[in-house]
């Protein structure tokens, strides 16, 4: 294992806090870059402090995890891009030449009733402000890489199976922890969606660190090897929590009636739709 100096944005979030702790545990030096706080004695610096050279650490990798949540409005897209610009300035200040950017499979579109498998060559058709923001940030880093002479890896991530109160998966954690009933349908046992466990995310990062020569400005989908249905996800979360989920199976005709109501269609597609991505490219490159 190769120990690295790593700058991490978004380290105060649910995923970032775990990454910060585990990266340190693995022997890496971690500098946290924050929009909300500065605690230099704990190696937490604001973007402004980093850009102004208030830290003398040289960094091997910057992991750009910080992001608005997936329910941003259209006017917040530019805020996401502005954050990417701060990251680029931070790379200059930290003499860093390697970027890992956490994007989203939302750049491909949204959940649907179709069974298309998305690869890195699939057409980008973001349907939400969040997906559009991620697409713009990807393009920004791609355009700037040749100008600023840095290398990047863009990881397009599906929803993570983690207890994050701000995410849809996190809401399932909430219901199951409290033993609350969760209504579902036959569709919830038949649909297929890609997810990513935290363990696979961390293992993937270690593979990237240990194979840094393979970083060649690539874009990769990163997901668990097999997609699962919504009901399987509920049972998986139940296994994590050690509690049996209380799934109430409702008649399928109710689902069909609800799908006729426009305001419910997007919600039902989000919960019971399909969204499958292939991680074959990452596996072939880094061996996950």
Indicate whether 167 pLDDT > 90. Answer: no
Helix (H) or strand (E) holding 232: helix 230-241
Q: Which of the residue ranges 15-29, 66-80, 114-128, 180-194 would you say has the lowest mean pLDDT?
A: 66-80
Given this model, what pLDDT does residue 54 score? Answer: 87
**Which residue segment(s) compose the domain that 232 sits in?**
168-190+228-272
What tens digit of pLDDT does each residue of 246-281 get?
A: 999 999 999 999 989 988 888 898 899 999 999 999
Question: Quick one: 85 and 173 in the same domain?
Answer: no
Which residue is listed with tokens 């897209």? 77
Same domain, 154 and 175: no
Q: Which residues, other chains included, contact 82 with Cβ-Cβ below 8 Å and sequence gap of 6+?
A: none
Pair 246, 216 in one domain? no
Q: What is the dihedral of CA 172, 278, 2, 144, to 10 degrees?
A: -100
157 plus 185 within the same structural domain = no
Consecutive H or E run containing 88: helix 77-93
Residue 36 pLDDT class (50, 70, 90 cuts): low
Dist. CA 144–CA 87, nearest whole Å: 12
Q: Are 243 and 221 within one domain? A: no
pLDDT higher than threshold 90 for residue 172: yes
**Average pLDDT of 151-176?**
93
The CA distance from 250 to 265, in Å, is 17
Least confident residue range of 41-50, 86-95, 246-255, 256-265? 41-50
What is the count of structural domains for the chain? 2
Q: What is the CATH number of the domain that holds 47?
A: 3.40.50.720
Half-sphere exposure of 178 (CA within 13 A, CB side): 9
> How much is the pLDDT for 164?
86
123 and 109 in one domain?
Answer: yes
- Residue 244 and residue 112 share a domain: no
Tell me what pLDDT residue 34 has. Answer: 85
What is the bridge-based pairing of β-strands 98-104 and 246-249?
unpaired
Same domain, 245 and 130: no
For the stretch 204-243, pLDDT in tens is: 999 999 888 888 889 999 999 999 999 999 999 999 999 9
Domain identity same for 112 and 205: yes
Percent of the chain with pLDDT strictly greater than 90: 74
The pLDDT tens digits of the residues spanning 102-136 come to: 999 999 999 887 888 999 999 999 999 999 999 99
Asked whether residue 155 falls in the same domain as residue 46, the answer is: yes
Question: pLDDT grade, residue 154 (50/70/90)?
Answer: very high
Residue 157 sits in the same domain as residue 64: yes
121 and 184 belong to one structural domain: no
Q: pLDDT-derived band of residue 41, with 50, 70 and 90 as boundaries?
A: low
């Amino acid at each position: 294992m190769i120990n690295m100096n790593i700058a991490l944005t978004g380290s105060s979030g649910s995923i970032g806090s775990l990454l910060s702790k585990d990266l340190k545990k693995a022997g890496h030096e971690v500098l946290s870059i924050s929009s909300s706080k500065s605690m230099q004695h704990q190696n937490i610096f604001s973007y402004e402090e980093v850009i102004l050279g208030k830290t003398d650490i040289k960094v091997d990798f910057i992991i750009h995890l910080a992001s608005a949540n997936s329910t941003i409005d259209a006017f917040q897209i530019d805020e996401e891009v502005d954050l990417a610009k701060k990251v680029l300035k931070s790379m200059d200040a930290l003499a860093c030449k390697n970027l890992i950017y956490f994007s989203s499979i939302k750049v491909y579109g949204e959940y649907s009733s179709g069974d298309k498998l998305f690869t890195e060559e699939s057409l980008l058709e973001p349907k939400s402000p969040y997906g559009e923001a991620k697409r713009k940030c990807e393009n920004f880093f791609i355009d700037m890489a040749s100008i600023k002479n840095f290398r990047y890896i863009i990881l397009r991530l599906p929803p993570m199976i983690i207890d994050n109160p701000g995410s849809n998966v996190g809401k399932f954690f909430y219901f199951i922890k409290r033993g609350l009933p969760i209504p579902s349908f036959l569709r919830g046992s038949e649909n297929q969606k890609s997810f990513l466990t935290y363990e696979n995310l961390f293992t993937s990062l270690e593979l990237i660190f240990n194979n840094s020569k393979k970083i060649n400005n690539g874009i990769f989908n990163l997901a668990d090897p097999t997609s699962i249905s919504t009901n399987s996800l509920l049972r998986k979360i139940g296994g994590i929590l050690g509690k049996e989920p209380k799934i109430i199976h409702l008649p399928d005709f109710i689902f069909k009636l609800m799908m006729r109501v426009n305001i419910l269609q997007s919600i039902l597609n989000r919960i019971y739709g399909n969204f499958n991505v292939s991680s074959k490219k990452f596996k072939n490159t880094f061996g996950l």
